[in-house]
Amino acid sequence: MKVLVLGGDGFCGWPTSLHLSAKGHDVKIVDNFARRNADVELEVSSLTPISPMGSRLAAWNVLTGREIGFERFDVAENYHRLLTLIKEWQPDAVVHFAEQRAAPYSMKSSWHKRYTVSNNLNATNNLLAALVEAECDAHVVHLGTMGVYGYGTAGVKIPEGYLRIQVPTDDGTVVESEILYPPNPGSIYHLTKTQDQLFFAYYNKNDGVRVTDLHQGIVWGTQTTETRLDERLINRFDYDGDYGTVLNRFLMQAAVKYPLTVHGSGGQTRAFIHIQDTVRCIELAIENPPAAGERVQVFNQMTETHRLIDLAQIVSRLTGAEIDHIENPRNEADSNDLFVENRQLIELGLEPILLEDTLMEEVTEIAGKYADRVDLSKIEARSLWRKKS
Amino acid sequence: MKVLVLGGDGFCGWPTSLHLSAKGHDVKIVDNFARRNADVELEVSSLTPISPMGSRLAAWNVLTGREIGFERFDVAENYHRLLTLIKEWQPDAVVHFAEQRAAPYSMKSSWHKRYTVSNNLNATNNLLAALVEAECDAHVVHLGTMGVYGYGTAGVKIPEGYLRIQVPTDDGTVVESEILYPPNPGSIYHLTKTQDQLFFAYYNKNDGVRVTDLHQGIVWGTQTTETRLDERLINRFDYDGDYGTVLNRFLMQAAVKYPLTVHGSGGQTRAFIHIQDTVRCIELAIENPPAAGERVQVFNQMTETHRLIDLAQIVSRLTGAEIDHIENPRNEADSNDLFVENRQLIELGLEPILLEDTLMEEVTEIAGKYADRVDLSKIEARSLWRKKS
């Protein structure tokens, strides 16, 4: 299959591109290096020494004999280049990672709010408009987030995208209906993903665009089978307060003997998935597109849930690190339950990698090995959801 | 009250600005003349001879002694100018009309889809981000559309913004909840208004921004008490296939002895409001802001519903015009019911102007009087919702 990967240089995009290439797909990456440029802006670097795109692709070709194509441009700004690429190459699937993906980054300032909104929404709309204009029936596989759901309704397991409801009518009877799960985003970043859902529903209804929206949990881990082949293929590992996700931050903090920073009580429960499972899920999504005329297909792309304090305790047990409770910069509940339906990807063949089984590998392979590259001053989370009063 | 009117040169924005000024508010308009520029692009003109902004404001000042301020810039593109204006002027209310407002225009081509999305979403986000950054507690009054609801659920009167639902839980009980009415937009334009709702809900929740969202029906009529004072104040009247709304198009068609073009059977039922009631509703909204900490307030800003074929028959009866059924370029149901709750604005004091009572004035005052300015070639609706196969 010809697969276009928008945002194929990023933390999920790069290992996905390699995985799909390894599985025999013909892969072409589009990326504007927005993620590398954010490192420049934030004065941080991946803990792992990631290679430039040219070296990455050359190494992959030498190691496997396979070629991955690459075009550098901004999907949100350069509509005509995207349109031409789609018209000429006629991909079978487009994996859409071309969005600013960090909640804290989206809350840093008005500029960051505005960049996240304009980039994410225009990128999604450009892709959909281009597919319609090019009359290309490619299946869109979009990386959404569990965050579109908020933290669910008490007593109701979060379904995969759609909620069955009952609406009392004026004559006293009740109408059954199934709706897109009512959105409850926790940041500007999450907001854009709820707005993306409306784009997908509309273009699906009006133009028949086939879409799978993957509501992904927090990704942990760094390497996949393919990125492990050679250091030039290594995946990025972010530990800073903006792009570092919670578990990777704990691991790195442990490696450098910094206390694990838990926001508030740590009672916040979140959904997680290993990066190796992410790339497998995307492969499964590509192989199982919705039929023509079918509504947007939504999978919950997560494998387990944990309270943040429990995660900190696991890491503490493995490494001896201390735990430090700090004031929560986010505007969120101090604790919550989270029950999530994730049957569809499991039924398609996903075999989850469990955190307790492989976390120690991360500690030694990544956090320990590259600990000398850390900049301790970048650990603190500085983005505030609201001004302090 | 100091009221900033974004998009204050347009069909609703101009009479609103005059009305608020007449009522004693201190009004400042921001507009980038996007609507006048669309006339240039589409090679059409308002049937009524609208004056340039300078003449409009000078005439208003001479006639009433009141001053309306004006700044020309693009709210979606010039964030810093908007921020500075809000910081320095500290408005009490901001009326937000600064969006591309025609469904057919939004469907003309990929460019029009992309312009509508980028303009409307960035304008709304810029306004909200600027209020937060400026620490300005102005009440945002936004012009939404009845189109966010789609055409409702059988047997359920469309509520004002929020729907009470019941969700069956895993243990067999039922949880009651109230959600934003599930969106079902019928065009890219309507889509952006459903995405706007998510902006408002988020900034309201996270930052306490006070918002009233007015879900307006199709506006008919041209003049208000203030625009009637002098021909230099006249409001625009659009009859073309993109910006002309259905009733105004019928009136103009009748005036020039062109058959009334009904799309499909005409069984489509829509909600309507007279422009004089629009400006009154906005005044009522400004005078009745939500309290601090209250969720987004939603009013259905419409006064009556009609089937399009019934409207055509009323106009035909008044004028003798013939009715012509043509193929529907839109992707919509051929007929629908529509029951809409609109109690809140009525309770605040709105006294609806009814269509049957004053339609004849429009026929003589506007359509008849300016019929010699018509360009017959612009009557046909050319935007297709989907390519013909």
**Distance between CA atoms of A198 and A201, rounded to whole angstroms?**
5
Cβ neighbours of A387 in B, within 8 Å: 135
* A384 pLDDT higher than 80: yes
CB–CB contact A177 B153 (8 Å): yes
Q: Report, as an integer, the average pLDDT of B327-345.
A: 91
Q: For residue B27, what pLDDT is reported? A: 98
Q: Mutation test of the interface with chain A: which of B79, B84, B111, B121, choosing the one with the most A Cβ atoms within 10 A? A: B121
CB neighbours of residue B388 within 10 Å:
6
Q: For residue B357, what pLDDT is reported? A: 86
**Distance between CA atoms of A12 and A327, rounded to whole angstroms?**
30
CB–CB contact B157 A175 (8 Å): no
* Average pLDDT value for chain A: 94
| Choice among A84-88, A265-269, B227-231 with the minimum mean pLDDT | A265-269
Give per-residue pLDDT as tens, B157-190. Answer: 999 999 999 998 888 899 999 999 999 999 999 9
B364 inside 8 A of chain A by CB = no
Residue B285: its H or E element: helix B275-287
Closest CA to B47 of B380, B382, B376, B356: B376
Give per-residue pLDDT as tens, B83-134. Answer: 999 999 999 999 999 999 999 999 999 999 999 999 999 999 999 999 999 9
Predicted TM-score (pTM) of this structure: 0.97
Q: What is the DSSP string of B132-181?
A: HHTT--PEEEEEEEGGGGTT--TT--B-SSEEEEEEE-TTS-EEEEEEEP
CB–CB contact A122 B118 (8 Å): yes
CB–CB contact B165 A165 (8 Å): yes
Q: Which residues fall within 8 angstroms of residue B15, CB to CB, at 6 or more apart?
A: B223, B224, B226, B227, B235, B275, B276, B278, B279
Of residues B333 and A127, more confidently modeled: A127
Of residues B6 and B332, more confidently modeled: B6
Q: Which residues fall within 8 angstroms of residue B133, CB to CB, at 6 or more apart?
A: A110, B83
Stated length of chain B? 389
**Distance between CA atoms of A225 and A29, rounded to whole angstroms?**
19
φ, ψ (nearest 5 deg) of residue B161: 95, -45
B236 inside 8 A of chain A by CB = no
Q: 3-state DSSP call for residue A138? A: coil
CB–CB contact B79 A110 (8 Å): yes
Q: 3-state DSSP call for residue B83? A: helix
The answer to whether B258 is a known catalytic residue is no
Name the active-site residue from A48, A124, A145, A227: A145
Q: Report, as an integer, the average pLDDT of A109-136.
A: 98
**Distance between CA atoms of B341 and B101, rounded to whole angstroms?**
23
CB–CB contact A155 B169 (8 Å): yes
Q: Report, as an integer, the average pLDDT of A176-189.
A: 95
Q: Provide the 8-state DSSP code for A158.
A: B
Chain A nearest-CA distance from B46, in A, is: 30
Q: Mutation test of the interface with chain B: which of A86, A106, A113, A136, choosing the one with the most B Cβ atoms within 10 A? A: A113
* B388 pLDDT higher than 70: no
Cβ neighbours of B108 in A, within 8 Å: none
* B381 pLDDT higher than 80: no
| Choice among A138-142, A162-166, A374-378 with the minimum mean pLDDT | A374-378
Q: For residue A334, what pLDDT is reported? A: 87
Closest CA to A223 of A145, A275, A261: A275
Chains A, B: CB pairs < 8 Å: 132
* B191 pLDDT higher than 80: yes
Name the active-site residue from B189, B239, B258, B370: B189
* B220 pLDDT higher than 80: yes
Residue from the list A110, A156, A173 with its beta carbon closest to the beta carbon of B175: A156
Cβ neighbours of B188 in A, within 8 Å: 202
Chain B nearest-CA distance from A153, in A, is: 8
Q: For residue B382, what pLDDT is reported? A: 77
Model confidence at A389, pLDDT cuts 50, 70, 90, reads: low
Closest chain A residue to B207, measured at CA: A386
Question: What would the 3-class secondary structure string for B219-265 be?
Answer: EECCCCCCHHHCHHHCCCCCCCCCCCCHHHHHHHHHHCCCCEEEECC
Q: Mutation test of the interface with chain A: which of B74, B117, B163, choosing the one with the most A Cβ atoms within 10 A? A: B117
CB–CB contact A177 B114 (8 Å): no
Give per-residue pLDDT as tens, A142-176. Answer: 999 999 998 776 778 999 999 999 998 888 899 99
Chain B nearest-CA distance from A119, in A, is: 10
CB–CB contact A194 B191 (8 Å): no
| Choice among A194-208, A351-365, B311-325 with the minimum mean pLDDT | A351-365
State percent of chain A over pLDDT 90: 82
* B35 pLDDT higher than 80: yes
CB–CB contact B386 A206 (8 Å): yes
Q: For residue B134, what pLDDT is reported? A: 98
